[in-house]
Amino acid sequence: MHEESGALPQKCDFSAWYNDILWQAEIMDVRYPVKGLYVWYPHGFAIRKRTYGILRELLDRDHEETLFPLLIPEHEFMKEAEHIKGFEEEVYWVTHGGLTELDVKLALRPTSETAIYPMYSLWVRSHADLPIKLYQIVNTFRYETKHTRPLIRLREITSFKEAHTVHTTWKEAEKQVEEAVALYSEFYARLGVPIIISRRPEWDKFPGADYTIATDAIMPDGKTLQVGTVHHLGDNFSRTFDMKYEDPEGVQQLAHQTCYGISERCIAALISIHGDDRGLILPPEIAPMQIVIVPIIKKGRENDVQKAADDLEATLRGAGYRVTIDTRNIRPGAKYYYWEMRGVPLRLEIGPRDIDSGVVMAATRFGEKIQVSRVTILEEIGNLLESFREEMRQRAETRAGEQIKQVSTMGEAKEAAEKGVAVLHWCGDEACADMIEKETGVGILGDDVRSSYIGDKTGPCIVCGKEARPAIIARTY
Ligand code: P5A
Ligand code: ZN
């Protein structure tokens, strides 16, 4: 796609590393001339396609995919007071068709509640119509004023997966929130990305929601990235959009709703958490190319080696692997470097000596080298990729464990939050949260925390001493 540009900055310089890897591993081109809008290179897009393939697979078990318009008429957008307050400064408006000023201004969806719910109100008639569970994967627009960053803070979110559900009761919607949280957990487990689940404080919940449960990943620099949110909407939107159903007794009842979303931030987390100084590291399930074969050519044995590589490729392709032979006329070392940057999980080297002894040299993206017999190759490669996936997951888990610290004093909290996530006890009062922010420089990210690293032990609130449950503070993207 473009010329090589030398070694990556080290990952410990995360910001520089992140910008460079997007370019060198051909994920995004950031040169598009509108702030906050970026271009997917085909390689990045192939990663996106497989990542969202997993998300679709999980959702399709009991959701249906749909597609709503991008444009929302002003009068619908302006109906739900909290929602408007939350988004009014972020909305792009379409005001003209050609030279003619539109009678009704049209919003570019920042999210689709106000596009979808007027239609839901037409669709929902009886309790027999419920639940409704739809999702769409679309672009949305938010005029973000904080520092924009590819895949992380976009003005055009290109890969916004939003699900919108309708239920009979508040309790049913609450159950759906839990199912969505479980679904997101499963999704991130498939990516090998550890997440912390917590409830956002009241002042940080989604505009129009009763409460918000968020999933956060910890980036290499210790800042957290919100990589998905699930909102209980109660009957707030069904009141506004008059979404009522007839219950079995023939009484009209307000519907209850949830919505939940994930954006291409999931790919930012995937890249950042697994990658290293040499480039991407991708789970085999997601890697656009899973195996690269590098022929080691020796004078006089060119045809031999070529044939062995072709046979190997055919065998692997037949077994369903995404595999390629790198026949370019460059040094093997340059080929290794190239494929490592792009995160190929497994490299197979085959030269005259290997052919003579009926073996292939396998090297994983972690640098582990194993000699594989040509006879049992399919079984061995299956095992190698499976243990590679497991090792990726474990390394990320270990890292996350190191980035989370239990603290009991403000001094410790401040220090821990400079490097990662600090777990402390907080009673839930806003005044105590303000004090924590004043003393440590970082705000409460969430309480009601669910994470294998963070217990559920109660303790005295770090500010007022009242019996309290664990909460987390962290610097955030
Ligand atoms: C849930 C889906 C919503 O919009 N409506 C439909 C609800 N929630 S949210 O929290 O505002 O967004 C969902 C997730 O999208 C990611 N996100 C972004 N990603 C990239 N660039 C942005 N500007 C951006 N804004 C939000 C977050 O991961 C968020 O949790
Ligand atoms: Zn307190």
Q: What is the pLDDT of residues 286-306, one digit of tens each?
A: 999 999 999 999 899 999 999
Q: Contact, 368 vs 352, CB < 8 A? A: no
| Residue owning the nearest CA to atom 29 of ligand 1 | 228
Atom of ligand 1 nearest to the CA of 152: 20
Q: How far is CA 50 from CA 22, 104, 136, 321, 383, in A?
A: 17, 39, 16, 14, 21
How many whole angstroms from 228 Cα to the centroid of ligand 1?
Answer: 7
List the domain boundaries for the chain: 14-274, 291-391, 406-473
Residue 394 burial (10 A CB sphere; 0-12, 13-18, 19+): exposed
How many whole angstroms from 184 Cα to the centroid of ligand 1?
Answer: 14
| Residue owning the nearest CA to atom 19 of ligand 1 | 263
How many whole angstroms from 423 Cα to the centroid of ligand 2?
Answer: 14
| Residue owning the nearest CA to atom 12 of ligand 1 | 261
Atom of ligand 1 nearest to the CA of 144: 23
- How open is the CA angle 7-11-14, to the nearest 5 degrees? 115
How many whole angstroms from 421 Cα to the centroid of ligand 2?
Answer: 19
Average pLDDT along the chain, 477 residues, taken 10 residues at a time: 75 96 98 98 98 98 98 94 90 98 97 97 97 98 97 98 98 98 98 98 96 98 98 97 97 98 98 98 98 94 94 98 97 96 98 95 97 96 98 98 96 96 97 97 95 87 96 97
Atom of ligand 1 nearest to the CA of 225: 28
Superfamily of domain 291-391: Anticodon-binding domain (3.40.50.800)
Q: Contact, 261 vs 228, CB < 8 A? A: yes
How many whole angstroms from 169 Cα to the centroid of ligand 2?
Answer: 33
Query: Rounded mean pLDDT of the chain?
Result: 96
261-299: b (≥16 Cβ within 10 Å) or e = bbbbbbbbbbbbbbbbebbbbbbbbbbbbbbbbbbbbee
Mutate to test the pocket of ligand 1, among 160, 181, 476 (most ligand atoms within 8 A of CB): 160
What CA–CA distance (Å, rounded) separates 248 from 245? 10
Is the pTM here over 0.75, yes or no?
A: yes
Ligand 1 residue neighbourhood (C-beta within 6 Å):
111, 142, 144, 153-154, 157, 162, 206, 226-229, 231, 259-261, 263, 265
Predicted pLDDT at 344 = 98
Mutate to test the pocket of ligand 1, among 72, 226, 264 (most ligand atoms within 8 A of CB): 226
Q: How far is CA 332 from CA 247, 293, 295, 350, in A?
A: 70, 11, 8, 11
Closest to 421 (Cα-Cα) out of 398, 397, 400: 400
Predicted pLDDT at 453 = 83
What CA–CA distance (Å, rounded) separates 116 from 72? 9
Atom of ligand 1 nearest to the CA of 163: 2
How many whole angstroms from 434 Cα to the centroid of ligand 2?
Answer: 10
What CA–CA distance (Å, rounded) separates 287 from 266? 15
Phi/psi of residue 237, each to 5°? -80, -30
Q: Which residues surround ligand 2, an ion (CB under 5 A)?
A: 427, 429, 432, 461, 463-464
> What radius of gyration, in Å, describes the C-alpha atoms of the chain?
26
| Residue owning the nearest CA to atom 13 of ligand 1 | 261
| Residue owning the nearest CA to atom 8 of ligand 1 | 261
Tokens matching residue 449: 């925390």
| Residue owning the nearest CA to atom 11 of ligand 1 | 206
What CA–CA distance (Å, rounded) separates 183 from 192? 14
Largest CA distance in the chain: 87
How many whole angstroms from 467 Cα to the centroid of ligand 2?
Answer: 8
Predicted pLDDT at 227 = 98
| Residue owning the nearest CA to atom 26 of ligand 1 | 263
Tokens matching residue 75: 């009068």
How many whole angstroms from 462 Cα to the centroid of ligand 1?
Answer: 31
Predicted pLDDT at 397 = 97
Nearest listed ligand to the Cα of residue 427: 2
CATH classification of 14-274, choosing from 3.30.930.10, 1.10.1050.10, 3.60.10.10, 1.10.3720.10? Answer: 3.30.930.10
How many whole angstroms from 298 Cα to the centroid of ligand 1?
Answer: 54
- Annotate 436-453 with DSSP letters as a single string: HHHHHS--EEEEEEEBTT
Nearest listed ligand to the Cα of residue 459: 2
- How open is the CA angle 166-167-168, to the nearest 5 degrees? 140
Predicted pLDDT at 210 = 98
Crossing angle (nearest 10°) for helices 14-24 and 265-274: 110
What CA–CA distance (Å, rounded) separates 145 from 321? 43
How many whole angstroms from 170 Cα to the centroid of ligand 2?
Answer: 29
Predicted pLDDT at 83 = 86
Atom of ligand 1 nearest to the CA of 230: 1
Nearest listed ligand to the Cα of residue 433: 2
List 471's β-bridge partners, or say none: 424, 447
Predicted pLDDT at 409 = 96
Atom of ligand 1 nearest to the CA of 142: 23
286: left (phi over 0), alpha (psi -120 to 50) or beta: alpha
How many whole angstroms from 427 Cα to the centroid of ligand 2?
Answer: 4
Domain 406-473 has CATH 3.40.1360.10: no
Tokens matching residue 271: 């890249």
DSSP category for residue 10: P
Nearest listed ligand to the Cα of residue 158: 1
Q: How far is CA 145 from CA 91, 158, 341, in A?
A: 11, 18, 32
